């Protein structure tokens, strides 16, 4: 098997790791489409990259040409930072729904298999249930319209439903994946001076606090529970779905690690312990509680728990390999050892990307450093 895979929005965290993984198998020719390639170039280091600089919203003909050449199209285009959900909600809808509709239409026109990267956020709230989220059974419960925190979830859920409807009509072959909190190197960058507008996800938020000696801030006490999945496990699952695309056609798959469930408060304590053990034994590690409104702005609301049922993807032979301690140990060491390079890139996000020294971790390949571009508004990242 040798396949042409085209990750659209493939220059970001998941895309760069997936491109590396697919290329490394020797079974795929990978052409990455995005408007930024800094993380991709860092991940690939000296390996050749077939990169197309294209905003998928701007040129339908160019998009069609790319899709026509593919065996598998991977839609990773998304706007995924929670602060943007409240600050730029219309931009979130434009990127996560309307831009991706062009990708869906192109796959239909050219009869190409679509692997669509959705989100675990489509499930919304638990509604008080202790049951895990199941792809084909769980109700998707969102908050009131005035809480714009749910606009991302709503846009992604609507796209899932449209893709499903095209499948029912016999027009589209696809698989939808719902990732549960993928983390790892090449995720978000360091934030020396926190602002609401430049507010990364929890891993980079806590690491920035540790490195710059700020308190780790727990939104509403950090009671929410999450299941963190190491990126290597995530891309293994994605490749397995691509490889079995005939078998999994028109199905939805959760990808997550239920064994890594933790409260955000316990995660903060874990990261403080790991940082003191591997980086700075004298680190303050202060932890404090803040309100959701003060951290994100008015209209914030959270899901209390996100626990996946992964029996469907396990049926293909996949299982996560990295426990919570190992996942965050590798992340903490990575951020600490590459601090100077990350800060340098923050000062000049437009400078050419450079491959950075390996972390010294036992698996250098998974520890290639990230570019701290701060470009959270990228339409394809």
Q: Give the residue numbers marked as catalytic.
A: 152
Distance, CA of 151 to CA of 146 (rounded, Å): 10
Distance, CA of 325 to CA of 155 (rounded, Å): 33
**DSSP per position, 150-185:** GHHHHHHHHHHHHHHHHHHTT---EEEEEE--EE-T
Distance, CA of 248 to CA of 252 (rounded, Å): 8
Q: Is the CB of residue 203 less than 8 Å from the CB of residue 187?
A: yes
Give bridge partners of residue 32 from the DSSP assignment.
51
Residues 6+ positions from 246 with CB-CB distance below 8 Å: none
Distance, CA of 239 to CA of 237 (rounded, Å): 5
Cβ neighbours of 91 (radius 10 Å): 14
Instruction: Look at phi and psi of residue 127 and say left if phi exceeds 0, alpha if psi is from -120 to 50, else beta.
Output: left
Cα angle 89, 92, 95; round to 5: 150
């Amino acid at each position: 098997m040798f396949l042409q895979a085209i990750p659209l929005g493939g220059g970001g965290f998941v895309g760069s790791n997936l491109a590396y993984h697919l290329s490394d198998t020797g079974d795929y020719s990978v052409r990455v489409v995005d408007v930024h390639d800094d993380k991709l170039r860092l991940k690939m280091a000296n390996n050749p990259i077939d990169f197309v600089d294209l905003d998928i919203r701007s040129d339908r003909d160019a998009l069609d040409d790319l899709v026509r050449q593919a065996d598998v199209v991977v839609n990773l285009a998304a706007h995924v930072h929670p602060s943007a959900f409240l600050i730029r909600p219309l931009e979130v809808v434009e990127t996560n729904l309307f831009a991706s509709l062009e990708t869906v239409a192109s796959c239909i026109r050219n009869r190409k298999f679509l692997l669509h990267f959705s989100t675990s956020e489509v499930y919304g709230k638990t509604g008080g249930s202790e049951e895990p989220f199941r792809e084909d059974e769980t109700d998707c419960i969102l908050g009131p319209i005035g809480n714009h925190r749910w606009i991302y979830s709503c846009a992604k859920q609507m796209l899932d439903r449209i893709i499903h409807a095209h499948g029912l009509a016999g027009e589209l072959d696809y698989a939808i994946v719902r990732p549960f909190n993928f983390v790892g190197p090449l995720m978000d960058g360091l934030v020396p001076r926190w602002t609401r507008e430049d507010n990364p996800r929890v891993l980079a938020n806590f690491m920035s606090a540790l490195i710059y000696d700020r308190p780790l801030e727990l939104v509403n006490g950090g009671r929410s529970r999450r299941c963190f999945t190491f990126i290597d496990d995530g891309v293994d699952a994605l490749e397995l779905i691509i490889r079995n695309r005939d078998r999994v056609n028109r199905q939805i798959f959760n990808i997550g690690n239920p064994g890594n469930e933790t409260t955000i408060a316990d995660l903060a304590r874990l990261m403080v312990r790991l940082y003191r053990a591997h980086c700075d034994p004298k680190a303050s590690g202060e932890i404090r509680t803040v309100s959701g409104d003060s951290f994100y702005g008015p209209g914030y609301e959270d899901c209390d728990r996100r626990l996946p049922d992964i029996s469907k993807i396990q049926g293909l032979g996949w299982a996560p390999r990295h426990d919570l301690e190992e996942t965050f140990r590798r992340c903490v060491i990575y951020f600490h050892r590459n601090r100077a390079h990350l800060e340098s890139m923050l000062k000049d996000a437009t400078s050419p990307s450079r491959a950075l020294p390996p972390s010294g971790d036992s698996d250098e390949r998974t520890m290639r450093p990230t570019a701290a571009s701060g470009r959270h508004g990228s339409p394809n990242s």
